[in-house]
Structure 1
């Protein structure tokens, strides 16, 4: 029994072909949108690539770019097919191509769904990449004289100012690393030397943060040195002075920024998948209804269209049987079709003796005489 059988008249078939022609051209535009979204996401990730670890998170924008290009090509061909299918005689030139086209489009729509799911599943990898990348960038914040790292101070400062964040998880992350270069430390001061000697690794660690961590909304001048020392500042309590510094970590701020972009792109890809699936369903109905018209021989007659000619289980069993048959046909038979009693006579001259000569061919003259 056919799955979702629908009866089509000549008028309904023509209208279906015309609507599908328009929808395929709309799908070409959606493919261009997918390509643009993938390109936009790739640029956004590369824009702050120095703040991310070297993890492969580019597969999502790369897949969106590839899916967008394939969508343009497939739907352009689909628009041409549907335009010609308005005339039943022109359908004959596409008859053999329709089924492979539908199968390829089905797998393509599946790839679109995978792309949408990948957009929602890349949060974990993105968070880990940002965590490792920001930690490394903060470690090299002081290396302004080192080639290849001299730009990191400006990058981190601009990040903290733009996203109103401080540190990786918070401002206290700066307490655990030396972010002031030894070049700017006065070794003649006893306090500086004592701090260097008190640290096992010889690092100059202070309870201070870079200027870019200062909250511009603070009613008092920013306190970025001796943050935990209440007696060093007048009328100051570091546990309650939340307006003094940005309290949010940069990893969280960047993750929220990218999550908004990724979720918006994922929603757009999911809508595109639903649209492509509806177009594929219409093309399948058009193909089956036109093939039934050709069987009937009357182009103006009614015809049935369906998604599957048989039920899902019957279709699965049939395809499985076809696969098994192809597998058996590809095997080399070395046992005479499994019957060892069958002897195949050899035509080699070595098997013919003087009393066992091959049969003589009858000439045309002897046939005439007989």
Structure 2
């Protein structure tokens, strides 16, 4: 007995074909959206590539661009098939392509599921990439004259201003590195010399942060130098007063931004999988309802459509049987005749080790 069978007449078949046509073109629009989001995500990653440690994070946007293009092509073809399905001549031509197309659509849905999982799982990789990349960018912030690092300062300043953040974990990360180049330090100044000589590595460290860490919404002029020295500023206590710099770390801020993008894309892909499943199910109903018409020359006749030709258990058992048959086809029973297609020839001297019966 067919699984989930439905009776169809001409009106129902026409409505099903029209509805499927709309669903397929809706899937094309979703595919364009996935393609556009892939490009957008790739641009966003490239904009901050200097604060990221590697290029593995581009795997997700590249896959999004690929599946977006495939979704547009497959669903446009599916819409064309649904449009031509009610024409007997055109249906006879496209009938051999129905089964391969539905199998291809199922495979594409599996690819979409893989991409959706990557959108959620790769977020941890983005987090680690940002952590290492921001750490290196802060360390090389001062190297504006070094090839390959010339724009790190600008990129990090723009990132801190745009995401309202400071440092990697927090603003105290700037206290651990020399972020002012020696070319801008007056080495003849006693204070500067004392700071450099007091450090084991000869670095000029101070409790200050770059201007990009300042919060423009603070009513007080930005305090970016001597942040932990209460006597350096009037009416100031760094332990109790809310600082007028951003206290949130850039790793958390940027990761939150990328995470929201990847989560939104993952949800959109799950919606696309549901749409693709509905398209395949509808196409199966349409094709079976056209094949089972009692009088193909009379379009008004009734027909029956189904998802599976047999019950679910019987179909599952048939699939297992076919898989076992395929597995056995590659094996030759011990002591059996050697197939001619294998071209196996036994030599009498090798009877002791030959597994086939010689003729």
Both structures adopt the same fold (TM-score exceeding 0.5): yes
Matching of residue 132 in structure 1 with residue 132 in structure 2 = yes
Query: C-alpha separation between the residues in 2 aligned to 1:26 and 1:331?
Result: 47
The residue correspondences of 1:197-236 to structure 2 (distance < 5 A) are 197-236=197-236
Q: Runs of 5+ in structure 2 lacking a partner? A: 339-359
Aligned to 1:196: 196
Aligned to 2:40: 40
Alpha-carbon distance, 1:111 to partner = 2.0
Aligned to 2:85: 85
Alpha-carbon distance, 1:54 to partner = 0.5
Aligned to 1:255: 255
Query: C-alpha separation between the residues in 1 aligned to 2:259 and 2:97?
Result: 41
Q: 1:294 to 1:126 in 2, by over 3 A?
A: farther
Query: C-alpha separation between the residues in 2 aligned to 1:336 and 1:217?
Result: 86
Alpha-carbon distance, 1:296 to partner = 8.1
The residue correspondences of 1:1-370 to structure 2 (distance < 5 A) are 1-293=1-293, 300-331=300-331, 335-337=335-337
1:18–1:86 Cα contact (<8 Å) kept: no
Q: 1:33 to 1:291 in 2, by over 3 A?
A: same
Query: C-alpha separation between the residues in 2 aligned to 1:295 and 1:64?
Result: 46
Q: 1:202 to 1:311 in 2, by over 3 A?
A: farther
Q: 1:219 to 1:336 in 2, by over 3 A?
A: closer
SS in 2 for 1:245: coil
What TM-score, normalized by structure 1, do the two folds share? 0.85
1:27–1:75 Cα contact (<8 Å) kept: yes
User: What value does the CA root-mean-square deviation take over the aligned residues?
Assistant: 2.2
Alpha-carbon distance, 1:297 to partner = 8.1
Alpha-carbon distance, 1:52 to partner = 0.6
Q: Runs of 5+ in structure 1 lacking a partner? A: 339-370
Alpha-carbon distance, 1:153 to partner = 1.3
Instruction: Report the number of matched residues.
Output: 338
2:295–2:301 Cα contact (<8 Å) kept: no
